Amino acid sequence: MVFIDADKSNYINYYNFIMDNNLLTLQGVICVDNSLFKAKVYLKDTTDSNGLALREFNQFIANDPRVEQVIVPLRDGISLIRRVSVASTHLLSQANITDDEVFRGVQGRSILNRMRLDGKVAYVTGGGQGIGRGFAHALGEAGAKVAVVDMDHTKAQAVVKELFLKGVHAIPIKADISKSDDVQRMVDTIVSKWGAIHIACNNAGINRNSASEDTSLEEWDQTFNVNLRGTFMCCQAAGRVMLKQGYGKIINTASMASLIVPHPQKQLSYNASKAGVVKLTQTLGTEWIDRGVRVNCISPGIVDTPLIHSEDLRPLVQRWLSDIPAGRLAQVTDLQAAVVYLASDVSDYMTGHNLVIEGGQSLW
Ligand SMILES: NC(=O)c1ccc[n+]([C@@H]2O[C@H](COP(=O)([O-])OP(=O)(O)OC[C@H]3O[C@@H](n4cnc5c(N)ncnc54)[C@H](O)[C@@H]3O)[C@@H](O)[C@H]2O)c1
């Protein structure tokens, strides 16, 4: 917003300076003070120089096709001038401009506006900390209402408090996504509270380490129950709601471990479960897209979260760094734009995709 006041006879010059130097973004607003100047702009025989300057200014704005204005008769008058996204047909043909969606924006919305998530309902599993917390904040900042789902309720509540401080509508839900009753209750709670689910981030996952010859069936089952079976149950329960709506975005968290075999840690069950998440994503992504539901996944490299602070993994950080072209671990903030992109309409043509964000590690 730009505010114009001061020398009335210079209002036109101030305005031209703003427009000629492109200081007003699309949908940006200029507020002009005193634009009715004690109603002198309406007096036919006025000789008041300020009244005459403002009359000329108001007419000048009314004739400018780049903007629209309202003059609010509040006290001395205040004008609100907004840059309009669509220039007049006359101007376009004069300047030989291609008048299409690239020029105007899809439905008149610029690219960043199209990535906004206002009015959308989202949930994030494993939202109580780490990557899920980063996703919950990103979706909330982009305008979505967010259900923060975690088996650790205290952590989910803490993230909801953070979101509340930023003006984001959020609720905590305690659920263990490896239990089908919990998954159904999570979905039912969100639908009964907000009436829909547009964005499902199935992010909760666990990592266990053991040499393959020692991997117990218990470890295998535990890992698969959360990482693959749990993710499937969430996709299915949220997917049923989305298929009925005819619209939805599912974003699963897989891992770089779906592509490469991270080393030197031994994590057979984790790697295999995450490869399963990618195939689950590809299959659902192709099966449901013609009914409006897109399913994609994000595969982070090594992210600095509590997941890698275990006794087994922490000592390996230095070793990993030499395998990462970017020369550092990922931060959860490195992943936030990707989830907003996949959650928004701009990515509607993308489905079954595995979006790898690993600082180049899988290429070395
Ligand atoms: N940190 C990494 O380096 C990394 C790399 C690639 C992929 N990932 C994946 O990203 C996801 C999030 O990882 P993170 O690093 O934020 O982990 P994290 O351990 O820091 O956080 C995981 C959260 O999920 C919750 N959770 C665990 N099991 C759950 C269950 N059964 N039901 C509900 N909530 C559950 C935990 O309470 C915790 O709050 C996981 O799927 C993980 O495999 C992590």
Mean pLDDT by 10 residues, the chain (364 residues): 93 95 88 91 88 94 92 93 73 78 88 96 98 98 98 98 97 98 98 98 97 98 98 98 98 98 96 98 98 98 92 89 96 98 98 98 95
Mutate to test the pocket of ligand 1, among 148, 252, 307, 358 (most ligand atoms within 8 A of CB): 307
Which atom of ligand 1 sits closest to the CA of residue 332? 16
The Cα–Cα gap between 148 and 126 comes to: 8
For domain 2-83, the question of CATH label 3.30.1200.10 is answered with no
The Cα–Cα gap between 262 and 84 comes to: 52
Q: Which of 259, 260, 264 is nearest to 279 (CA)?
A: 259
Same fold, 2-83 and 115-363: yes
Which atom of ligand 1 sits closest to the CA of residue 227? 41
Ligand 1, atom 30: nearest CA belongs to which residue?
176
- The per-residue pLDDT for 79 is 96
The Cα–Cα gap between 289 and 340 comes to: 19
- The per-residue pLDDT for 346 is 98
- The per-residue pLDDT for 104 is 83
Domain ranges of the chain: 2-83, 115-363
CATH number given to 115-363: 3.40.50.720
- The per-residue pLDDT for 44 is 85
- The per-residue pLDDT for 75 is 87
What are the start-end ranges of the H helices in 146-267? 153-165, 180-194, 217-224, 231-245
Q: Is 128 in the pocket of ligand 1 (CB under 6 A)?
A: yes
Q: Phi/psi at 146 (nearest 5 deg)?
A: -130, 125
The Cα–Cα gap between 86 and 102 comes to: 12
Q: At a CB cut-off of 8 Å and minimum separation 6, what does 113 contact?
A: 105
Q: Is 204 in the pocket of ligand 1 (CB under 6 A)?
A: yes
| Catalytic machinery residues | 270
Q: Is 277 in the pocket of ligand 1 (CB under 6 A)?
A: no
Q: Which of 263, 259, 260, 261 is nearest to 319 (CA)?
A: 263
- The per-residue pLDDT for 236 is 98
The Cα–Cα gap between 241 and 186 comes to: 12
Q: Which of 298, 250, 282 is nearest to 123 (CA)?
A: 250
pLDDT tens column, 51-107:
999 999 999 999 998 899 999 998 899 999 998 866 566 667 777 788 889 988 899
Q: Is 303 in the pocket of ligand 1 (CB under 6 A)?
A: yes
| Parallel, antiparallel or unpaired: strands 199-202 and 248-253 | parallel
